[in-house]
Structure 1
């Protein structure tokens, strides 16, 4: 990853911050993009002197996504990989849900990824090894009760990945990881009685993501890769 320009959306979150740090440790020039205004303490410093921090960005707005990606390309003279981690989750049954819950899940999961990909495509095509990695969900393969809005949105991310991989075949690889429950502080708080030994650590997931974002993953595109833990 040495010298590669890697843009991470949702970079201030539990998974995004781990991916950004790991990319920087492997020598990448990291771009931290997030809806939040300020990164967690120490994150920008951990990503190195060349890290670019772009906070307060609403990626559901296509114009904002376009301007953000343009700023990245101007700063570094191009871009090699986009990792679309920006997204969100809700649990609600259909009977108890509002129409807004479904729209919100679509906007923050599918629309953010599609807006960023659209803006980044010209720059990724110019790279010697352009990569897009999206974050899907194992829970969208077979949705459980209460998972409708989230699973529908992540299924949209899966199909965006497959379609875009065909559209860009031979030019840019496009893949998605499909994690099960990620071992984060928020998930532990929400599920205090769960067996966390079966969950996926952010570090394990980051390793798969960064392989797909690397030049070594040249023969992998259109893949939806389950990352479901050690047990």
Structure 2
């Protein structure tokens, strides 16, 4: 896929998935601004030379707006945003805490809302793209995933609503729904799992690059499962 000349912001870019997506987007020809909650000093070495914007709390609307404006300023404009920033908590409802639900909403839904809203004035041109990271668990949740799955279901509904708002302007909004992503952290948390059944970060990145490309111009409001063999 060719993203030559496109200027893309990636949130959650310092993480295991975000860093792979950032590299894939750059390899496809785009200029990339990497935004993350962690400070720039925590950025992976592989992202050296990219536009790095760290210590950003995307749950705060003003901070999100400043970060996206900075990304656009340093890139010379903005043609797309990939919303990867988020988090996971495993907690049973019976012995859990309602605060977890607030936390999951804040890190998974509010971050996408704030970053997307901040980007909208910069993306009001045909061919602009918004790609969100949802979760397969939002379609069918398992025990311990109530708060996380509910938050990711919120990302799905936000994706659909925003896609409908922007469809007449030629701006597409889509979400990818991964199952378990094969990262070092997930392997450590589930050492007995069959890792070869999980989806690879590179596979998720390939799908995101397609959705950012001109070839995906007819795809909007889609919630696309990418689940490996889970």
- Alignment TM-score, normalising by the size of structure 1: 0.95
Instruction: Pick one of 12, 15, 18 that aligns with 1:13.
Output: 15
CA deviation string 1:6-43 (max 9, x = no partner):
10000000000000011111111000000000243422
What is the match of residue 45 of structure 2?
Answer: 42
What is the match of residue 137 of structure 1?
Answer: 135
CA deviation string 1:46-99 (max 9, x = no partner):
xxx4x2100000000000011111112222331011000000001001112112
Q: Determine whether 1:220 maps to 2:219.
A: yes
Q: Determine whether 1:166 maps to 2:164.
A: yes
Q: Which runs of 5+ in 2 are unaligned?
A: none
Deviates more, 1:67-76 or 1:22-31: 67-76
CA deviation string 1:164-201 (max 9, x = no partner):
00000132100000001000001101111111111000
Note the C-alpha offset of 1:125.
0.9
Give the Cα–Cα distance (whole angstroms) in 1 for the partners of residues 36 and 7 of structure 2.
17
Give the Cα–Cα distance (whole angstroms) in 2 for the partners of residues 200 and 151 of structure 1.
18
Instruction: Pick one of 2, 5, 10 that aligns with 2:4.
Output: 2
The correspondence of residues 1-231 of structure 1 with structure 2, limited to 5 A, is 1-37=3-39, 38-45=41-48, 49=49, 51-126=50-125, 128-171=126-169, 172-230=171-229
Give the Cα–Cα distance (whole angstroms) in 1 for the partners of residues 130 and 43 of structure 2.
25
Over 4 Å off, 4+ runs: none
Q: Which runs of 5+ in 1 are unaligned?
A: none
SS at match of 1:134: strand
Give the Cα–Cα distance (whole angstroms) in 1 for the partners of residues 32 and 154 of structure 2.
27
- Alignment TM-score, normalising by the size of structure 2: 0.95
Give the Cα–Cα distance (whole angstroms) in 2 for the partners of residues 17 and 156 of structure 1.
24
Note the C-alpha offset of 1:230.
4.7
Give the Cα–Cα distance (whole angstroms) in 1 for the partners of residues 44 and 83 of structure 2.
22
Aligned length: 226
Give the Cα–Cα distance (whole angstroms) in 1 for the partners of residues 197 and 47 of structure 2.
31
SS at match of 2:191: coil
Give the Cα–Cα distance (whole angstroms) in 2 for the partners of residues 156 and 4 of structure 1.
28
Deviates more, 1:66-75 or 1:111-120: 66-75
